Amino acid sequence: MVRWREKANKFQLSIMNRNVTSIDVAKRAGVSQSTVSRVFSSGSPNVSSEVRERVLQASLELGYRPNAIARMMSTRQTNIVGILMATITSPFYPYVLEKFLKELQAIDRQVLLFTASENQSVDDLLPLALQYQVDALIITSATLSSEAAAATSSGGTPVILFNRVVSDANVCSVCADNLAGGRLAADVLLDSGHEKLAFIAGIENTSTSQDRERGFALRLHERGMANWVRRAGRYTYESGYAAAQSLLDETVPPDAIFCANDIMAIGAIDGLRARGVRVPDDVSVIGFDDIPMAAWGAYNLTTISQEVDQMIQQTISLMLERIESPHEPCRTERVAGKLVIRSSVRNLTTGKSDDIAG
């Protein structure tokens, strides 16, 4: 009988707690209702630590839980940011996502993640994301059509592309200076004495791969190298492995390979080694991104870093700016990367980093 009464009392208390409002908390804490709202809405701005503790203690005693949905309706903002990603085939993007989550939560923004399957485009996901009334959309590791970008932007939801660029669309972008990175890769390989160069591309319709290849090709042309070879990859380990082995079947195999991202470069190194080719003694390999795996002792990959922390900060700043002033003209911000020298390219001094001229 005693246990039954205890359970009944707990159940009754839980029912009562469902009806506790911010007014009840304000009365218990001896503050105004607006003070309670400030404590729970954005980390207690302009509220003293003593008042904050009283409000939190009163909330705990009464079993009060703020109603996020009601707050959204009153402010007409959800404080939710949508992040759209396509199929994630590179370790770079989970790494980026983790950093986005941390930085957005630090400014009291929650994240709603949408991922496209292999047979689904980001364009298909946009209507779904917009149904949730997110305050802004950040699109990364995916290609957005200019038509969809324009339609989304005209609907009033700020759209920021991370590490992607869509031409002829009113959409803001933050990306690495991929063109400069491609040029730098060409200089590194030529300056270290390589004469037969190759490029392994990423997904063909992505601006990242296109710009890295274009910068590479332009710089080779400027320096008098007209002949080089390429293979198409998919930004995956497997495609880098296969492309490197295919390059070895050329009549004159390359003595250096520039890969459009690190995971393909790591695949390329393993593909070369599987054929008995030494890296860098026989063939040098340079990547792009500087994912944590690039520093593993098995690879020691020389690469061009993307300054992810800076890119994320600029993306969030641009997002907040667009939320406050949605009719301001969009712009693309390019962030200079760094050459990270390790041991996968011969004739380079290891253990240093050089800035890319933006």
228: pLDDT confidence band, cut at 50, 70 and 90?
Answer: very high
* CATH number listed for the domain at residues 77-175+308-335: 3.40.50.2300
- Percent of the residues in the chain that have a pLDDT greater than 90, as a whole number: 48
Please state whether the predicted TM-score (pTM) of the whole model is above 0.85.
Answer: no
Whole-number pLDDT of residue 34: 78
Whole-number pLDDT of residue 77: 61
Strands 338-341 and 302-305: antiparallel
- Residue 340, pLDDT > 80, answer yes
pLDDT tens by residue, 41-68: 655 557 788 888 888 888 888 877 765 5
R_g over Cα of the chain: 26
For the chain, which residues make up each domain, given as ranges? 2-74, 77-175+308-335, 178-307+338-355
Whole-number pLDDT of residue 201: 97
Question: Quick one: which of 186, 166, 184, 182 has its CA closest to 174?
Answer: 166
Whole-number pLDDT of residue 154: 60
CA distance 232 to 64: 57
- Residue 153, pLDDT > 70, answer no
Whole-number pLDDT of residue 317: 94
Whole-number pLDDT of residue 353: 43
Number of Cβ atoms within 10 Å of the Cβ of 66: 15
How far is CA 33 from each of CA 4, 40, 64, 288, rounded to the nearest angstrom?
Answer: 37, 11, 13, 53
Tell me if 2-74 shares its fold with 178-307+338-355: no
- Residue 324, pLDDT > 50, answer yes
Please state the rounded mean pLDDT for residues 89-115: 88
CATH homologous superfamily for the domain 2-74: lambda repressor-like DNA-binding domains (1.10.260.40)
Q: Average pLDDT over the chain, rounded to whole?
A: 84
pLDDT tens by residue, 261-291: 999 999 999 999 999 999 999 999 999 999 9
Tell which wins on pLDDT, 131 or 54.
Answer: 54
Domain boundaries 178-307+338-355, CATH class: alpha beta
Q: Which contacts qualify for 55-61: CB closer than 8 Å, 24 or more apart?
A: 55/25, 55/29, 55/31, 57/29, 58/25, 58/28, 58/29, 59/25, 61/28
Tell which wins on pLDDT, 226 or 152.
Answer: 226
Please state the rounded mean pLDDT for residues 159-175: 82
Whole-number pLDDT of residue 133: 80
Residues 43, 45, 47: CA angle, nearest 5 degrees: 105
